[in-house]
Amino acid sequence: MLHTLESLESCNYDGMDMTVLERQAARLKWQQQYYVVQNNNPVPLSASSVPQSQGLIGSNLGSGQMVELKRPEVFLGTDDLQDFVNLPVSGPDFGESEKLDLVPPEAAADYCISRTFNCQMTTPNIAVMKEEREDVILEKIESTTGSGRVSFNKRKAEAVADHKSKDKRIRGEGESEVKTKCSTEISRNSSKENSKASEVQKPDYIHVRARRGQATDSHSLAERARRGKISNKMKCLQDLVPGCNKITGKAGMLDEIINYVQSLQRQVEFLSMKIAALNSSVELSVQNLPMKEFPAYVANFPAAAKLPEMAGLPCFQLNPLQKESVRFMLNESLHPPQTEGVARASVCITEQSLSSSSMTQLQPFSTWNMDPQGLYNMYNMGFH
Amino acid sequence: MEGYMKEGRRVYPTEPRKIMQARFATKYLNYLLHALTNIGKPELSSTLDCCVNKEIDKMVRYEVDMALALSAEGFAWSHALKHRLRLNVNNNNHAGKSQSYLAHHDDHRTKMPVNHEPATKKLKGNPKRSGTEAAVEEEEEERLTYLRKLIPGGSGEMMVDDEILLSELGSYVTCLELQVNVLRSMLQLT
């Protein structure tokens, strides 16, 4: 039984074990006197096995080992895990997966119910407490896992109503106030456990860690996750909008974004009016850009040979313009072959689209309307 | 990133963002230059210059926006922009006037300073009130609704979610920047 538990735990190895192991090793020594130590190997505890082990909070605590919980965010690898030491044998078997061996009543007599309990309880009390805590744990396990792993919940069909309500409240609120220390402990553990268990067992969910004093119900968690996502997006926007680095706070940021978008839109309008004016007055004037300005392009373009032919065409004027614009865009360090590829393509296409004064060359343009999804995905990857 | 294979031409971008920008720029240019050369010809025969200019203005504006919408496929705002443009064109065709498009756009322009000032006034004039959480959230909500008016399709059903709105904002801002760059470079060379 102990071995099975150990093996189960070992398969869910979690990263917090080092302190666990140390503590467990320390614990082992003084606990050896109380029950047959069946394994001296520190048991790697995982998030999934912790709930079961929590039952041992009440069961295995040694006399005089009152370690207060420091912070709830402290991983189970710290003080808590002194409790999750050698799982005492005997006690009822719980069925398949998670087996929680309870401290035999006689051994339990030597233990306090919880680390923070200052009293030594008698055996029957301990047994009761154990049972009650199991209920609590079972309910939590049920809630977190929802799987059939909890096999021993059937035994605890009759839960102590008090504990149940307490448990629900604990789960619902994650309170930091201490009703009873043991329940608080459990609640802290379970609140951590909830978030952790959900991490382990429901990988497709959004992971939000409930901190101390914060609600742990699904609504608040979802709300917090949503707020986290929004703040991420705001950070991305901060990178986009120039001059937003100094501004903190969502409202100021949104202000800046509004201003920036407005200014961009105004610029677009102004430029388009200018273009319209140009268009109406004269066709975009011929700009004789020397070829040497486009060394990278010209040298690589197979279409370069075509350019001299097209010099005579009135539409040719647009080519240098276009090349210039394209170069403008590609100004930053683009990988040369890629630059070549894109630019060459653009030149080819523009040549084709503009060479004939009649607009028959829509086809090449349409080929450039590559799959929007690809562009969208690419943008998103680059954007985030 | 992925190697984008298109008719035997492989482009392996090292920076996906740059590639996106390059593609946007080329698409934009292709479309716009194409459209502008189209505009130039038929309008020359008009009699009234001012009318022609206005018409040309509007047409250019239309083409500019359409170029933006087509160059940035796949975004909710681009879809909405395209829809709006086509709607306006239909209105123009039916009504015989081309006021609706610009009017629609100008509404946004005029609305902007007017609507924005109260927000800032509220912020500066009542610092105490803005200290409270509810007021701050209210301000943010106000700004968000304002942003929804700015971005095409912001009030639509696609962008009800705040997160989606913010992502669309990001893409919209970058595409606007690219558009401005393209237009500016076009003008620089003339």
CA pair distance B181, A329, nearest whole angstrom: 8
Give chain B's domain count: 1
The answer to whether residue B75 is domain-embedded is yes
Distances (CA, A) of A15 to A4, A19, B52, B79: 21, 10, 73, 47
Give the largest CA-CA distance in chain B: 64
CA pair distance A135, A51, nearest whole angstrom: 11
- Residue B43 vs residue A227, higher pLDDT: A227
Chain A residues close to B180, C-beta within 8 Å: 264, 267-268, 271
Chain A residues close to B174, C-beta within 8 Å: 240, 383
Instruction: Quote ipTM for the complex.
Output: 0.75
The answer to whether residue B72 is domain-embedded is yes
Among A264, A338, A346, whose Cβ lies nearest the Cβ of B180? A264
Say yes or no: A247 contacts chain B, CB-CB below 8 A. no
Cα dihedral B108/B111/B112/B117 (nearest 10): -170
Minimum distance, in Å, between the CA of residue B92 and any CA atom of chain A: 19
Residue range B100-145, pLDDT digits in tens: 444 444 444 444 444 444 444 444 444 454 567 888 888 888 888 8
The answer to whether residue B110 is domain-embedded is no
Task: Kindly state the tokens that stand for A280.
Answer: 């109406």
Residue range B86-111, pLDDT digits in tens: 888 788 777 654 444 444 444 444 44
pLDDT, mean of each 10-residue run, chain A (384 residues): 49 52 67 57 45 44 43 45 45 43 46 44 47 46 44 47 46 44 47 47 61 81 90 86 80 87 92 80 45 37 37 41 50 41 42 38 41 47 47
CA pair distance A82, A204, nearest whole angstrom: 32
DSSP class of residue B159 equals G
Chain B residues close to A280, C-beta within 8 Å: 43, 49, 52-53, 56
Task: Kindly state the tokens that stand for A83.
Answer: 């409790």
Pick the closest to residue A338 from A348, A350, A330 (CA basis): A330
Tell me how many degrees the CA angle B93-B24-A255 measures, rounded to the nearest 5: 85
Residue A35: the pLDDT is 58
Residue B64: the pLDDT is 83
Distances (CA, A) of A165 to A135, A136, A155, A170, A213: 11, 9, 19, 8, 19
Are B69 and B82 in contact by the 8 Å Cβ rule? The answer is yes
Q: At residue A181, what is the residue type? A: K
Phi–psi pair at A73, nearest 5 degrees: -75, -10
Chains A and B form CB pairs within 8 A to the count of 254
Chain A residues close to B46, C-beta within 8 Å: none
Looking at the predicted structure, is the pLDDT value of residue B156 above 60?
Answer: yes
Phi–psi pair at A175, nearest 5 degrees: -70, 160
Q: At residue A268, what is the residue type? A: V
* A96 exposure class (CB count in 10 Å sphere: 0-12, 13-18, 19+): exposed
Are A140 and A171 in contact by the 8 Å Cβ rule? The answer is yes
Residue range B46-100, pLDDT digits in tens: 545 556 667 778 888 888 888 888 888 888 888 888 888 888 878 877 765 444 4
The answer to whether residue B1 is domain-embedded is no
In sequence order, which ranges of A68-176 are alpha helices (DSSP H)?
105-108, 123-144, 161-173
The answer to whether residue B164 is domain-embedded is yes
Say yes or no: A241 contacts chain B, CB-CB below 8 A. yes
Residue A108 CA, chain-centre distance (Å), reads: 41
The answer to whether residue B77 is domain-embedded is yes
The answer to whether residue B8 is domain-embedded is no
Containing structural domain, residue B76: 15-92+145-189
Chain A residues close to B10, C-beta within 8 Å: 341
The answer to whether residue B3 is domain-embedded is no
Beta bridge partners of B11: B4
Confidence of residue B9 (pLDDT cuts 50, 70, 90): low
Say yes or no: A86 contacts chain B, CB-CB below 8 A. no
Residue A195: the pLDDT is 47
Q: Do B52 and A233 touch (CB under 8 A)?
A: no
CB within 8 Å of chain B, chain A residues 54-83 = none
Are A126 and A106 in contact by the 8 Å Cβ rule? The answer is no
Cβ contacts of residue A370 below 8 Å, gap of 6+?
B4, B6, B23
